[in-house]
Amino acid sequence: MTMQDAIALPNFLNKNRKTELEEGTTLEALAPALERLGHQIHIRPKTSGLHGIRVRPGGYEGGADPRREGVARGDLTCLPSDKPLNPSRAFNALPATARGAIWMVLGGISLILLAVVIRDIQDKFHVLQMIFLRSIVSFLIILPWALRQKREDLQTNRLPLHIFRNSIHYLGNVGWFIGVTLVTLADLQALQFTVPLFTIVMATIFLKEQVGAHRWIATALGFIGALVIIRPGFVELSTGTIAVVFSAIFYAASQTSTKSLSNTDSPNAILLYMSLIFIPVSAIPAFYVWVTPDWSDTIPIILLGVFGYTAHACIIRAFAAADASFVMPFDFLRLPIAAAFGFFLYSEWPSIWVWIGGAIIFAATYYITWRESMIRKKAAESINE
């Protein structure tokens, strides 16, 4: 193991039975077992700031905490070697904020590319069949990883909630895929920014989360932004717009279920059960609209699964690398990137109302994320004191 790899490992800290695990890492899966042993678990971002340099023949090998800015002067980039620098190590040597921003932008681009593939094959395949084909490819991508996991990390006692979550998520997929075929790419992305707003409402109702005045006001402003885009009463509501709004509601219900599941199940288990359950859930509707693919459809079908997987993986990595309050602004880049793809590929250009409404929705969701981040930091500081 290199010095950089060692320092980049997940962090944990124990303070007389008060155990802190680094948020967004594999250590989160240990929380249930540690709690059974009597530990008080706190999951939060942890930036150690550790750095180290190891003397090696011909030079120095260094490493610095990738969650913080800067590198050690003895970093691998300074080590004389005949071998080129490993790209993954070079990427991990970047500041955490830079890596988080890159992951978030890549996640947004993956979603847009997924939409482009859907449009490319929509004349041959129904959206219900596309969702099923994507779930098959995504499962094959995840399977090698799943086989390497420990059995206890993948166990669950809440299978009914997993089934409910993925059934609702499937309905969100249906709405989103329909929206891709009927509205501009920019409209699609702008309306999807409402998912966190719907999630706040549902978490309040079903999970009994406490929501203060600031979050309610920001949530209300976000929905006003959605109305600016939709403009009911001024323009006719299209089927595509309605489908995207309902997809946002279903995705919010799925995220609310995920919040509940994360209290008992590991992230690995949640991801695996999603892959397993999605196949039968999507297979039944696909059967009624089935068109047998031919060899020329192989690449688009594979890309459905690849872009669907990379979108989720990149966004998860973005939040694991840096604070949500930092990476969220880069998520808004989806709107201009989608507008550019729509303009060059389909001669689409969003109206001024889409830009205004999208900016309002994003500002509201970003304020909520930023304020929650500040509250968590203050709580962490009070605990440490």
Q: Is the pLDDT of residue 96 over 90?
A: no
Amino acid making up residue 37: L
Task: Tell me what the mean pLDDT of segment 202-219 comes to.
Answer: 85
**Tally of CA atoms within 13 A in the half-sphere of 54 that contains its CB:** 13
CA distance 79 to 62: 9
Burial status of residue 234 (CB atoms within 10 A of its CB: 0-12, 13-18, 19 or more):
exposed
Give residue 56's pLDDT band: very low, low, confident or very high (50, 70, 90): low
pLDDT score at 163: 95
User: Higher pLDDT residue, 359 or 150?
Assistant: 359
Q: Is the pLDDT of residue 101 over 80?
A: yes
Q: Is the pLDDT of residue 288 over 90?
A: yes
Task: Tell me what the mean pLDDT of segment 361-377 comes to.
Answer: 81
The whole-chain average pLDDT of the chain stands at 82
Of 3-12, 93-102, 208-217, 330-339, where does the model show the most confidence? 330-339
Query: Where do the domains of the chain lie, and which CATH numbers do they carry?
Result: 3-92 (3.60.20.40), 96-384 (no CATH)
User: Higher pLDDT residue, 163 or 322?
Assistant: 163
Task: Tell me what the mean pLDDT of segment 305-325 comes to.
Answer: 81
pLDDT score at 224: 92
pLDDT digits (tens, 9 = 90+) for 138-184: 999 988 888 887 787 788 888 999 999 999 999 999 999 999 999 99
Amino acid making up residue 209: E
**Residues facing residue 322 across a β-bridge:** none
pLDDT score at 120: 95
pLDDT score at 78: 44
pLDDT score at 79: 42
Q: 3-state DSSP call for residue 22?
A: strand
Burial status of residue 199 (CB atoms within 10 A of its CB: 0-12, 13-18, 19 or more):
buried
Cβ-contact 261, 277 below 8 angstroms: no
Block residue for tokens 């059967």: 287
DSSP string, 158-206: -HHHHHHHHHHHHHHHHHHHHHHHHS-HHHHHHHHTTHHHHHHHHHHHH
Tell me which H or E stretch contains 13.
Answer: strand 12-15
The tokens for 315 are: 């966004």
pLDDT score at 74: 46
Give residue 324's pLDDT band: very low, low, confident or very high (50, 70, 90): low
Cα-Cα-Cα-Cα dihedral sign, residues 131, 135, 137, 138: positive
Give residue 325's pLDDT band: very low, low, confident or very high (50, 70, 90): low
Considering only 166-170, 216-220, 351-355, 369-373, which range has the smallest mean pLDDT? 369-373
Give residue 24's pLDDT band: very low, low, confident or very high (50, 70, 90): low
Q: Is the pLDDT of residue 188 over 70?
A: yes
Q: Is the pLDDT of residue 327 over 60?
A: yes
CA distance 274 to 251: 13
Q: Is the pLDDT of residue 54 over 80?
A: no
pLDDT score at 179: 95
Q: Is the pLDDT of residue 51 over 60?
A: yes
Give residue 76's pLDDT band: very low, low, confident or very high (50, 70, 90): very low
